Amino acid sequence: MSKYQFIKHFKEIRKSDVEIVGGKGANLGELTNFGLDVPPGFCVTAEGYNAFIDYAGLNDKVRELMEEIDVEDTAKLAEASNEIRRIINNGEIKPEIEEEIRSAYRALNEEIGIEDAEVAVRSSATAEDLPDASFAGQQDTYLHISGEDELVNHVRRCWASLWTPRAIYYREKQNYDHFKVALAVVVQKMVNSAKSGVMFTANPITSNREEMMINASWGLGEAVVSGTVSPDEYLINKASKEVLEKHLANKKVMVVKDTSGIGTQEVDVASLLGSEAVSGECLSPEELNTLIEAGIKIESLYGSVQDIEWGLDQDTHGLYILQSRPITTLKDDVENMSKENKLEEKLTPLVRGLAASPGIGRGRVKLIKDISEIELIEEGDVLVTGMTNPDMVPAMRKSVAVVTDEGGRTCHAAIVSRELGIPCIVGSTNATEVLKDGMEITVDATRGVVYEGFVLKEEDKKEEAAAGGPGLGVNMDQLRTLTAPPTGTKIYMNLGEPDLIDKYKNLPLDGIGLMRTEFIFTNMIGAHPMHLVKTGQGDMMVEKLAEGISKVASAIYPKPLVVRMSDFRTNEFRGLKGGDEVEPHEENPMIGWRGVSRYISPKYEDGFRLECQAMKKVREDFGLTNVIAMLPFVRTPEELKVVQGIMAEEGLERSKDFKMWIMAEVPSVVFQAEEFAELVDGFSIGSNDLTQLVMGADRDSGILNNMGYFDERNVAVKRAIKILIDACNKKGITISICGQGPSQYPEFAEFLVESGITSMSVNPDTVDYTRRLVASVEQKMILKRLRENK
């Protein structure tokens, strides 16, 4: 019998002990008793938590704070959560509990032969109908904790984490009694993983139980689990142990022990392990085989397919199993499919690339070498080409998916596909060589893989369910809007084609932060503005442009619509009817005659005046005063004043009812930020062009993208952005950003919010995710300030 009342060693725990040690603790005990290599440790039981609350006299205080709480009020929720956690962290621990924790820790030190051993301190929820999987990320984990005092302190912090805002919100939404959940704490020898990851003993994508999938990356496992890094991926046949597929990712970051000695930090792989480790294979053949054997053994012991977290220790080079739990998301009918259906769903990958616009598209390949062949594209084809350009947009609209050899996630094909809602894979390097005309393929642009044949049919059912399904009465976008957390930072959406607004208007958005007029030019007008001026067709351009803008403005009224005036470059404008007669040839159009420099030029001014007349028509004739004008690629305050004069002559003058923004995407705007801020009502940071110009890295270059040069998180780019934000906040004007950075990199979104950005505009597929991400960041900031002001 154990000498402890509030402590259970792993060897004393079975899977049936969930009510005592929580789901995580029960699993670790079961794995230990199976004889697997689990880092040794113990659990502070749920009884310990309840005894602490009773001894410290906190139960009534917590109930009182919870009585009046409105979980939809972010500030009030954060305030209540902070106060509950404060009183728990200041509460006196029952002496018997504290002594048992210290004693168990000393015994663990003796067992492993290390004084003040580093341990991981993890929360483990106890309610059986609220398994840990439902609470992913809601309670806290602390890594690299050393010493008795620190351990006791972090056990109490784990207890307090039962009352984080997200945990309270989740329980409230699930109608679960907050006071029926207790928290056990797992204390486990810290594995200093050189490599780590996740292993599924069934294919989690296809539900095929005859396969297993292993994800691996450098450093500690939280980088893989959190999605911070894209890991190497292996698909294995369990019977033969043969590697069916292997995809090596660019592993740019890794999580390691913090230099302070407590907790973790994120570092660049290239700086710590060398540049070859970024794209190099993480696992050796021997290590991969060890993992395969362990996965098969664990599945056999449990009698069910498992989701396993693992780490290869840097010091011992041994494999440790950190967690194992049943996979609950597989489709039962997959096992019972006929052999014929299994053959139909056999996945044969043909091409891999960067997943640039998510979704799945099935169709026949149409290889397009250049603009002269776009007429070959028919409705339902998959457009395969080296790289798209603006002239190909009509063909892209007909396509079910786009695959390119070149480009990164901010190239033309990627941006346009996301705005059109078309699945797109870029940077494949060899799609035009491997994929043949007429070939039937499935483009999985969520994972960046092109498969032979029409497969992944189950994904269609998932998408139908996500859309709400028949008879629900409300679609998923509307449901997300109803349940979306409030944020102080406005969440806007980028929009391509005006016709798409009906598809996206129910998303939880605060407005449209970027609508580019280029789509209206290419799809509704089709001719160069100066050609229309010369041929007396200017009125047609005004009508069509006003029609496209008003369609969107009326659909979201009174939410704002930020319309970016045309930003065609010379090579793009030349593709419009009559463009070859008026457009010059430039060696580098990306930094050539574009944006405001074009508007104030006598060679284009009349064309720009037509754009102004269209916007005036939308505002005055249609009464849509929610439209904001945004000027692209501004270089100097002087040219900005000139263009504002032209706009004023056309009836568009800044006032309380008419706002004017500029795109902040040229470094000169950074250096003169306050001067520009005096002249406009807002900035929208064009992070794609700004990163390109700060780093001197072509955003369309797949090579530079893959090498990590094109990255908004670069220190120089972040410093430029911070200067822009500070200038706008000082002058009291809007500061927004449009680009994929905030939704692609959570830490970048956190930087923006902490720096004082007032809004973000992201593509439709990430609106909901970005709102929830920003809400989480804002809650953390509120809590931090409350703690600082205690």
Beta strands in 421-495 (DSSP E): 424-426, 440-444, 449-452, 490-495
Tell me which of 9, 144, 154, 412 is the catalytic residue. 412
Q: Return d(Cα 767, Cα 512) in angstroms, integer.
A: 11
Burial class (CB in 10 A: 0-12, 13-18, 19+), 790: exposed
Amino acid at 57: G
Q: How many residues does the chain have?
A: 790
Spell 460-489 as b/e; 16+ CB within 10 A means b: eeeeeeeeeeeeeeeebbbebbeebbebeb
Q: Residue 63 in contact with residue 178, Cβ under 8 Å?
A: no
User: Is 738 a known active-site residue?
Assistant: yes
C-alpha–C-alpha distance, residues 233 and 247, integer Å: 5
Categorise residue 337: left if φ over 0, alpha if ψ from -120 to 50, beta otherwise. Answer: beta
Strand partners, 363: 441
Rounded to 10°, the helix 148-160/46-56 angle is 90
For 300, phi then psi, to 5°, come to: -65, -40
Contact 42, 21 (CB under 8 A): no
Instruction: Give the DSSP per-residue string, 657-687.
Output: TB-EEEEE-SHHHHHTHHHHHTT-SEEEEEH
Structure tokens at 283: 């696992």
Catalytic site residue from 43, 612, 728, 738: 738
Task: Verify cis geometry, omega within 30 degrees of 0, for the bond prior to 558.
Answer: yes
Which tokens in the block code for residue 520? 């209206």
SS3 for 187? Answer: strand
Beta strands 183-189 and 41-44 are antiparallel
| Parallel, antiparallel or unpaired: strands 682-686 and 734-738 | parallel
User: 531: how many CB neighbours lie within 10 A of its CB?
Assistant: 18
Only one residue has tokens 């094109």, namely: 710
Q: For the stretch 257-277, what's the b/e string if a residue is b when 16 or more beta carbons lie within 10 angstroms of its beta carbon?
A: beeeebebebbebbeebeeeb
Strand pairing report for 381-385 and 449-452? unpaired
In sequence order, the 6+-apart residues with CB closer than 8 A to the CB of 55 are 92, 93, 94, 97
412 annotated active-site: yes
Amino acid letter, residue 181:
V
396, 402 Cβ separation under 8 angstroms: yes
Residue type, 259: T
* Active-site annotation, residues: 412, 738
